Structure 1
């Protein structure tokens, strides 16, 4: 096993900034003066707990710089609220955009943190009217929020879910319009999540094929990856994390999954380059 005991030195992500962006990205910083690929996505693309995440592996396979602009728990709102990061992405030769969850978006029912999009900030009057019995004061994360709403009333929660799905499409279109013409969607359809029963634990708002294919005409291609059973078996055995963060590591893909992502992406990105 490669995981570390509690208190041991954590993986060094060499955090860096690009331009005037307030966000910290995984480094070392890449040279932006030569043609490069930009990666936008969440914790999976950031490569938390993985020494060589898929953007670094794609860089090695292409022989071209890959600028990892993925943010931990980031979604489209992360980029749409950061003009400097969007400028870096827009100047890329090719952009790869990970499909992230719809729950991590500000929407007609609640707002999320600008940089940590999994953080629930506030309920709107519409949500308070829909769920007057819910106390939002102790809710800090979007998944927890949706779990609470689902337990309170699945039918009323479906109203929120549908609004999130519509918001996701609108926000993704806004984001894609700001990116270079050559752009790919990366859809990790089976992330390395623990097999716990219950809708709230696995997918608060489903991003399904119909929803992703709405965007097909606005991208150069959609790369869908279902990780192999062998790669999923390796999860947590090929990751570097303090034992105190084992629960978080269990929800993310390991190095073997990252290698499979890179193997699929390298020829697709090379063709667009």
Structure 2
């Protein structure tokens, strides 16, 4: 095992005390996905996505449930803390996906992608790496050395100047559309775009962050189906009912998808996966 892969596996260690995610790779891709690894014989359904698809804290994420509902082999290509950059930059993953009948692509948020204002970690896309001269010129009063995560930085920018922050979010929207078009163009076969709309997880707005209906509509020529799941808020007890987590990570568990939400997403996808006609609202 290379040092790079060893470091990635070690990053999962703190998640395996209560629930084993069996991190794995496919083909020659170095990206770590949720396991256990499955055979890649032609005819499977692939699910690409971030933390929601990965299914932290839950034993059977929506990809597993989708497989049970459709009696198809569904492979989870979810990446914890991953976003568009993980998939758009992984050319080695495309030959793997070429064997799939259907590829489900989660509409991940626009906050965690590299753009003209800042760069993110190539695998842990929630990690802020550096800002550009353009960003420094726009926000001269911000000390960017204080930030390790994109969400923290974006909150600070919004609080500093809503007007300047709007310029950043406009750039994020344009970068998101360009990156999604790149990914969807590279992904072969039938493509289903999954939009999991969630209540705000903080002050920046609803999830997926900074993604609008208009942005999704620009992608319609590149996809076969759009599946929209609007997740409603639950009481704390109901939200945590099916989740497995240490008490020290209770807040993180509350920010993740609940068991009920995973079931809702699986059933919405199941209604579409078997269909070949038109867009599903």
- TM-score (normalizing by structure 2): 0.87
Q: Distance between the aligned counterparts of 2:162 and 2:117, measured in 1? A: 16
Tell whether the 8 Å contact from 2:42 to 2:101 is kept in structure 1 after alignment: no
Residue 3 (structure 1) aligns with = none
Residues 119, 35 of structure 1: CA spacing in aligned structure 2 closer, same or farther, 3 A cutoff? same
Q: Distance between the aligned counterparts of 1:86 and 1:256, measured in 2? A: 32
Q: Identify the match of residue 149 of structure 1 among 144, 152, 157.
A: 157
Partner of 2:123, secondary structure, is: coil
Residue 184 (structure 2) aligns with = 176
Unaligned runs of 5+ in 1: 1-5
Q: CA deviation at 1:227?
A: 2.6
Partner of 1:188, secondary structure, is: strand
Deviations 1:203-251 (A, max 9, x none): 6952111111111121111100113556987212220111111111111
Q: CA deviation at 1:100?
A: 0.8
Q: Identify the match of residue 68 of structure 1 among 76, 79, 88.
A: 76
Unaligned runs of 5+ in 2: 1-13
Q: CA deviation at 1:86?
A: 3.0
Q: Identify the match of residue 42 of structure 1 among 41, 50, 71.
A: 50
Q: CA deviation at 1:89?
A: 2.3
Q: For residues 1-273 of structure 1, what are the structure 2 equivalents within 5 Å?
A: 9-190=17-198, 198=203, 200=204, 202=206, 205-228=209-232, 234-272=238-276
Residues 123, 87 of structure 1: CA spacing in aligned structure 2 closer, same or farther, 3 A cutoff? same
Deviations 1:78-130 (A, max 9, x none): 01222222332233110001111101110000001111111110001110111
Q: Distance between the aligned counterparts of 1:270 and 1:8, measured in 2? A: 34
Residues 272, 67 of structure 1: CA spacing in aligned structure 2 closer, same or farther, 3 A cutoff? farther
Q: Distance between the aligned counterparts of 1:207 and 1:169, measured in 2? A: 9
Between the two proteins, the alignment pairs up a number of residues equal to 264
C-alpha RMSD of the superposition: 2.3
Q: CA deviation at 1:74?
A: 1.3
**Stretch of structure 1 that moved more, 75-84 or 200-209:** 200-209
Partner of 2:122, secondary structure, is: coil
Q: CA deviation at 1:136?
A: 0.7
Question: Taking CA–CA contacts closer than 8 Å with sequence separation of 6 or more, which of the two structures ends up with the larger relative contact order?
Answer: 1
Partner of 1:187, secondary structure, is: strand
Tell whether the 8 Å contact from 1:14 to 1:27 is kept in structure 2 after alignment: yes
Tell whether the 8 Å contact from 1:232 to 1:254 is kept in structure 2 after alignment: no
**Stretch of structure 1 that moved more, 208-217 or 141-150:** 208-217
